[in-house]
Chains A and B, each alone.
Chain A
Amino acid sequence: MKVLLGTGGREDGFDALGRTLERTREAGDDLTVAVLETSSDEDVESVAADVREQVTASGIDAEVRVLEGHPGSQLVEFAETEGFEQIVLGGGQRSPLGKIDLGEVAEFVLLNADVSVTLVR
């Protein structure tokens, strides 16, 4: 299956990357990782460098792409034009009390994507 993982610099995105790389190996999926310009403090290129390092270390042959601009809409548009069958995102950050905060990218993608969306917990 053609899978597109979207991630910014947040911890839940890196968790999702690790789990998706494992899943890619088991399922033989065709994985692309899109690094998004989110509101996180980290620069998108340095996030992309960390992502490439993790992908290389896993031995999985996955393309890593930086998508500039509004993160949710860029990810959805990329998924549609490139014919992806599934979008994967981090499952949200936890508040001090342990409540899950999905974030604006996940909210936008869930409401606007026309392919299935998986949130990794």
Chain B
Amino acid sequence: MNSNSHAILCRGVEKHYGEGETRIDALRGVDFGARFGELSFLVGPSGCGKTTLLCVIAGLLDRNAGDLEVLGRTPDELSDRERVLFRRKNLGFVFQQYNLLPALTAAENVAVPLLAAEVPRKEALARATSLLSRLGLEKRVEALPSKLSGGQQQRVALARALVHEPRIIVCDEPTAALDHATGEAVMELLASNAVQPDRAVVVVTHDSRVFHHAQSISRMDDGKIVEVTRSGGSPRMENVEESDSFRKEVIQ
């Protein structure tokens, strides 16, 4: 692994919660890398540490040990303000429960990262509307989240993660609340819109039905990466579903 090709590099990252008898080791020496231009999946059973790793990478949690590099920097060594600004500029988030602001329209929700970066409101809304149109929501830009289906809400969330053109996008179970067809459509949009040569996309998921979108799959168990599978240069990991035993292990 090297820092030129990788947006994210973790070596021996450890993270624990609590102390003494109540201590829980969430990450036990994780080695993980996410390359530019790739869709990297983090998979594994519940409680294995996927979301904790995602939060450490995003600078939302501090690691206890190990090395971490995100775009050549170490987020948890930045000051609080620098970390927030780093996150605002370089990261886009897609959450399992969308986390859209219910009082804002789809376009306004998408514009939030731009507004946070002091982009004038008019320009921010114009860019948000344009992106929503690209994602097939041109007729829903003025709709409130409560008037959107789950799939539409996740597309709005995806647009919000993309609108400020971050170099890393982290997605936490983006299809967990969606039916298969809708989840597939969302992943299709993610793969076609988010993956770019200068951007890395990390997806935490349980949903084995969408594994074929990944260029690499890192399987976690008990706070460690136990297996990494790569697509071998092909743009998609087309054969994951049928071919290997990996999927069987993951979905157990």
Q: Tell whether A pairs with B.
A: no
The chain B residues found within 8 Å of chain A, CB to CB, are: none
Binding site for B on A (CB under 8 A): none
